[in-house]
Amino acid sequence: MSIELEQKTEAQNNLADRLTFPPAVEALLIQAFSLCICGVGILFAYLVFAKIISLLFFLVAHALIAACISYRRKMDWWWWIIQFLFPIAAFLLLTLDVPRHYYLAVFVVMALLFWSTFRTQVPYYPSRASLPSLIHDFLPDKSLKFVDLGSGLGGLVLNLSLRRGDSVFWGVEIAPLPWLLSYIRSKFHPANARFFLKNYDNINLGDFDVVFAYLSPAAMPALWNKVASEMRPGSLFLSYEFIVPDVEPDLCINTDSGDPILYIWRI
């Protein structure tokens, strides 16, 4: 009996694996499914009750159904917002007389900003203003090499470089637009702040004394494997807000001001 149950469970898990899609594809399928549900609902209301559903009701219902399904599918929270806003925004853009070149401009900017989100599942997260001070107070009192994985607009790296002229601070960013802005900003800061347009998979974390990441839950397991295999004994790995699954941190720093927790692992 137990063998049959294990086989059934394994078959269900295999089916679940086959039904797993990249988040962007899953979001598109949810939108199509929600649209079908609303369409059937409108048709039912018209045929059975001879009632015509208003367009506003249809849009809100579509948006709510898509957001709720995304929540039930345990997609990341930003997908709930995107799924709710998408049908409403699409309708407004179709009804407004917007020149076509504006669509192209918006697409280019969004592509440059969220260059790799489809593949990495790591969206752009701006960090809190309190984060540089929090990290600075914990850094070892010696010359060190620090890297921010997914450095965004470079605020953390630039702030720390001004406070610690004895150390070197790197920012690694894969999205072209944030990297370009951070690179330009670095020209007005000390030379110990450097920014690189590359995937952090292509750098050796063993070259750094402190590695910081503010990525997403989806990225943490693979990143930890890289940290564990490359970082030197005595170095530090810091993660803001997102913990490594099943790996207890050595220290959790909470400012008690509603900010996310800074998790620290001593390698």
Name the pLDDT band for 10 (thresholds 50, 70, 90).
very low
- pLDDT for 14 beyond 50: no
Q: If you average pLDDT over residues 96-113, what whole number do you get?
A: 62
* pTM for this model (two decimals): 0.63
For residue 183, the model assigns a pLDDT of 93
For residue 91, the model assigns a pLDDT of 82
Share of the chain above pLDDT 70, in %: 77
Name the pLDDT band for 79 (thresholds 50, 70, 90).
confident
- Domain borders along the chain are 2-97, 131-266
pLDDT tens, position by position, 58-76: 888 888 998 899 888 877 6
Dihedral sign from CA coordinates of 203, 204, 205, 209:
negative
**DSSP states of 27-87:** HHHHHHHHHHHHHHHHHHHHHHH--PPPHHHHHHHHHHHHHHHHHHTT--HHHHHHHHHHH
For residue 4, the model assigns a pLDDT of 47
CATH of 131-266, one of 3.30.70.1150, 3.40.1160.10, 3.40.50.1440, 3.40.50.150: 3.40.50.150
For residue 96, the model assigns a pLDDT of 74
Nearest to 148 by CA among 228, 217, 203, 222: 203
Mean pLDDT of all residues belonging to the chain: 81
CA 236 – CA 238 distance, rounded (Å): 6
Q: If you average pLDDT over residues 124-145, what whole number do you get?
A: 81
Helix (H) or strand (E) segment spanning residue 18: helix 2-18
pLDDT tens, position by position, 179-203: 888 999 999 888 899 999 998 999 9
Q: Which two tokens stand for residue 29?
A: 């399928």
- For residue 135, the Cα-to-chain-centroid distance in whole angstroms is 21
For residue 229, the model assigns a pLDDT of 96
Q: If you average pLDDT over residues 116-129, what whole number do you get?
A: 54
Helix (H) or strand (E) segment spanning residue 183: helix 176-186
pLDDT tens, position by position, 208-260: 999 999 988 888 999 999 999 999 999 999 999 889 999 999 999 876 666 78
- pLDDT for 35 beyond 70: yes
